[in-house]
Structure formats: structure tokens, C-alpha cells
A and B are shown apart, each in its own frame.
Chain A
Amino acid sequence: MSPDIIDETTEIWFGPQHVSAHGWAAKLTLVGDYVVECEPHAGYFHRSAEKVMEFRNFRQGSLIMERLCMLEAFLAEYPYVTAVEQIAGLEVPERAKIMRTIMMEASRIHSLQFWWGQFSAELGFFAMLIWPWVDREWFLNAFEELSGSRHAVSYNTPGGVRYDFTEKSISVLELAIERMESNMSKFEDMLMGSPVFRMRTEGIAQYTAEQGIKWGLSGPNIKACGIPMDLRKDSPDPNLAYDLVDWDVPIIESKEHPGESDAFDRMVQRFKEVETSVDIIRQLLKQLPEGDIIDPKARSKANRLPEGEAYGRVEGTRGISTVWLKTTEKAQTPYRVKIRGPCFNSYYSLKHLVPGVRFADFIVVFGSLDPYPGWWDR
């Protein structure tokens, strides 16, 4: 860089019209083509979900929750559902617990497949945009076979689930997993084996686990630093079936930079997540008992809740999402719902991660955290 460029700063808006900025915008200050300051802006998707939920009853609330992140709909609606269950004192039947867990893991795989495509496209690998999305269609078929809907599945409901498995829906799900597994190694080769891909991602947006946790990052973004921080293992939810399964939290222990993760590590981490999810689904499908899929008293008990406060949490695809719920005596609607989306903090952390990277790498930093605007705008 010539000295006269170093003195001058340029401000550039990345988004909201940019193709990769689907519903967000960041103001970048550049010196040459190095970003020295990043100011993420939120609010383009804001639909005041928290206020809207104060006027919807406890069964309707979960339908709003899943619309915050359609890619992980089964997971997104769960924290609200479990918070209602805690206050109402509902007991989820064993079959429903296992079915929930299976579908939540299927949702995780589907969401990660979407991310592979999106992240690769953001880096210019357009072949990889379409291939994982073709396999993703099979998961959408499985969701459709189960619930009649491809995205807004409305599956979890206070007290259990809405739709029972059929032989066909299980076979479509198994088919989707088989197809994905047969193509997985191809995708791994295409991404990890590509020298260009490695050059674009290695050493980009590197942070330590301590930094990441301080900024509020969670999920694969922290597990890629070698910290097995995973709610599925740490505090197994009594209304889910993770304790019935023999599995380990997937983590990456990097030899070059132990305790830290860069964009490449986080991509590898997301491949590992898929393997774990497949393993969990396979084990649970074998253990599926017969029985009810919903607490028979669910409808009456979730109609009016006693006074209380509850905190529902789930380990989503992108990290920890939680719902804090307060109800008043015999109320039909919540008094206060606070949603914590995992991407709220991922997006915030761009402020710390971006300064110092080159302008072309900005989207790599953003994409490697797997943020979804619905989660921070709500």
C-alpha cells in the first residue's frame, strides 16, 4: 500500500442490498482494502415477536418461534415449548421425547446442509451451493411426509408432538440420511481438499475459546476451539432423549493453534456435527417405543397456566437458544417472553472479529459464524 492510501479511510455499507447480506447490513471502515472498523446494524427483519407472543396463547406461541429460524424450525420452537411445559407441569410421553429428539437432529442436519451451500457460495464455490441443497430437499420431503409442511412444521407442542411417525415417514427420513451420507465425503473433498478454499478460510477470524465465550458465542463456534460446551450433554433436558443415547460431543483440537478456532476449523466442526446427529438419530430410531405422543391433559393444562417463571433452553444448530417465560395466575397468554437467539451474539461479535481482515474476507468471517438474521431481529 502506498502511504497516501493509509491516511485515507473509506466507509462502505455491506448490505442490505448485497446478495450475501440477506436482511442485514454492516458499515465498514476501510484503509486500503483492510477493514479497520465494523459496525453491524440489525433490525431489518424485526417483527416484534416478543410483543406479538404476549397476545397469543401458549400453543400459538411456538408457531411464532419456529418462524424466527425456518432452517432449524424443530429446534427453534423447542425452548418456548419446554418453558410452557415446566410451568404447566406437563409430562411428555416417552415416545414423544424420542420423536422430538429425532426430528430436532434431522433439523440440525438440514440446517447445516443449507449452511454448506450458503457458505461455499459466499466464497464463490457455486457448485457447492446446489449439491448440498439437492440433498436438503430429501429432508424437506421427510418433514413434509411427517407434518404436511416443508418449513413451518409446527411439530413440538406443549405436552408432546403433533404428528405421529408412520412407516413411510420413517423410511423417507432414513432415505434422506442415506443420500446425505453417500454424498458427504464428496463435499468434504470439495471443501477441505480445495487449496483455494483452504487459503480463503485458514487463519481468518481466529479467536480463543475465552474470547468467544466472553462475546457470547456458543455452539459449533466454541466447540471448534476444543471446548465441549454442548447443552445436550451438559444439562440433558428431561423432555428430550439425549440421555438414552451413547454419544460424545464433537470437538476439534487443532494442533497448529490449540484452544483457538479459525474459519476453516468451524467448517470442519460443522461436518462433525452432522456425523454426530446421524449417529443419534440411528440409535434413537431403534429405541422407539409404542404409546401416546402427547400428554392427554395437554390441551386443558396448557390453556391456562399458573403463575410462574421458567427458562427453556436448547442447543440449536447455531448455538444456545433460550426463552424466558413469565406468566400470571390463570393467564391465557404470557406476561413476558424473552427470546435469546444464538446469532444475536454471533452478529455482535463481528465488531470484534472483523477489524484487521481484508475486505474480501469479511464475508468469510460472517459466514463462518453461521448467523441467521431472524435470530437477532426476532
Chain B
Amino acid sequence: MSSIDLISITALVRKVQSDLPEIEAKMLNESHVEFVTPKEKIRDIVTLLTESVQMLFPESVIGIDLEEDKYEVIYMFWSHLNNFLCQVRVSLDGPDPSIETVSDIISGLEWHERETHEMYGIKFEGNPDLSLLLLPEELEGKYPLRKRFKTDRSRLAESGLPQPKPRPPKGGATE
């Protein structure tokens, strides 16, 4: 391995604030920082993070449905060498939310984006493969983790499963 360059969490925050002043930084605790990022700057911030933090570990992409066509995406990264977590939070809105992909910058997030797409309908523009990952074909385009996707019997007909028999009247069935 080549030489190790360490960067402290405060130095990272300073660097982000000087390079990308649109981005707001919040310290969640002493080793966890959040960057609230406008949608257009997502590739810039992820590029900056991967360039300034060596061996940045892509932990997760978290999609959240805030209802009324508002969504959030959180990208979670961890640095083992510097021992801090950093998360990038992006707000999206509209009936067809979309954001640019970062999977070509850090490939470990490719499937996380793919999963978030099938579950929430958030389009990651430029992701090489946004086909279904976990869901069966019947649920394509239904986005089951959105809050408006109901899981009660009201959707049973859609699923193609047999309808339950109606309950017999009280006192037993009479013919």
C-alpha cells in the first residue's frame, strides 16, 4: 500500500466548506458529520470525499419517503483510517424524483442505488443497471417502500393471489 494520508473530521469539514460553499455541514457527534447537499452537487461532494479521504468505505444508500412527493436520500460513508462517519443528505421532490448516479465514482454503491430505485422510484441517472434487484416482476413500478403502498387486503386483487372465502354467517351456514 502507498503512503497513508490522514485527514481529521474538522479538516474535512473545512475543505468541503471552502470548495463547495453551497453545502451545509452539521456535526451529529464528534465522529459523525452530515453534509446537507443540493441535488445538483451530489457528484461534486462524493468526488471530493473520495479524493480527500483515503479508502472511503461505502456503507449504504438510504431512501426515505417523507410523503407528499418528498423524498430524501442519504449516502453513508465510513473512514476506517480516520475513524469517522460522514453522511450526505439530499432532498428530492416531485412525482418522478431523480438524481445523478455516483456508482461510477464509488462502485460499491451501485446496487444500493438499484435497490433504492426499485423500492422508491428514485431514478439514479447514469446507473448502468436499474432493473429489478430484489422484487418480483409483478411489483415493477409499484415502489413498495413508499408510504402510499398499502399492504392490507385492499391490494389483494392486484397480486393475483386467490381471494379469501367470505366468512360464514353467525350460527353456521344455512342453505
Residues of A within 8 A of B (CB): 42-43, 46, 48, 50-51, 55, 208-210, 213-216, 218, 226-227, 229, 234-235, 258-259, 311, 320, 322, 324, 326, 335-336, 338, 340, 344-345, 348-349, 352, 377-378
Contact = CB atoms under 8 A, between A and B. Distances in A.
B55 A340 contact: no
B62 interface: yes
Contacts of A226: 1
Interface stretch (B7-15, B92-100, B103-111, B167-175): B103-111
B134 A42 contact: yes
Interface residues of B, number: 35
B55 A210 contact: yes
B151 A43 contact: no
A51 B144 contact: yes
Contacts of B59: 216, 320, 322, 340
B60 interface: yes
Contact of A46 (B60, B80, B85, B134): B134
If over half of A's interface residues share one DSSP class (helix, strand or loop), that class is named, otherwise mixed; here it is mixed
Give 9 closest A-B pairs by Cβ, nearest first.
A216-B108, A229-B80, A43-B134, A46-B134, A340-B60, A338-B62, A348-B111, A259-B1, A213-B55
B62 A324 contact: yes
Contacts of A378: 134
Which of A216, A259, A320, A335 has the most C-beta atoms of chain B within 10 angstroms of its own C-beta?
Answer: A216
Contacts of B83: 234-235
If over half of B's interface residues share one DSSP class (helix, strand or loop), that class is named, otherwise mixed; here it is mixed
Interface of B: 1, 31-32, 55-60, 62-65, 74, 76, 78, 80, 83, 85, 106-112, 119, 132-136, 144-145, 151
A377 B134 contact: yes
Contacts of B55: 209-210, 213, 227
B135 A235 contact: no
A214 B108 contact: yes
Nearest to B105: A214
Contacts of A258: 1
Nearest to B84: A235
Which of A51, A234, A324, A338 has the most C-beta atoms of chain B within 10 angstroms of its own C-beta?
Answer: A338
Contacts of B119: 50
Contacts of B132: 43
Contacts of B64: 326, 335-336
Contacts of B32: 311
Contacts of B108: 213-216, 345, 348-349
B133 A55 contact: no
Given A46-B134, A227-B80, A324-B74, A235 B31 contact: yes
A336 B67 CA distance: 12
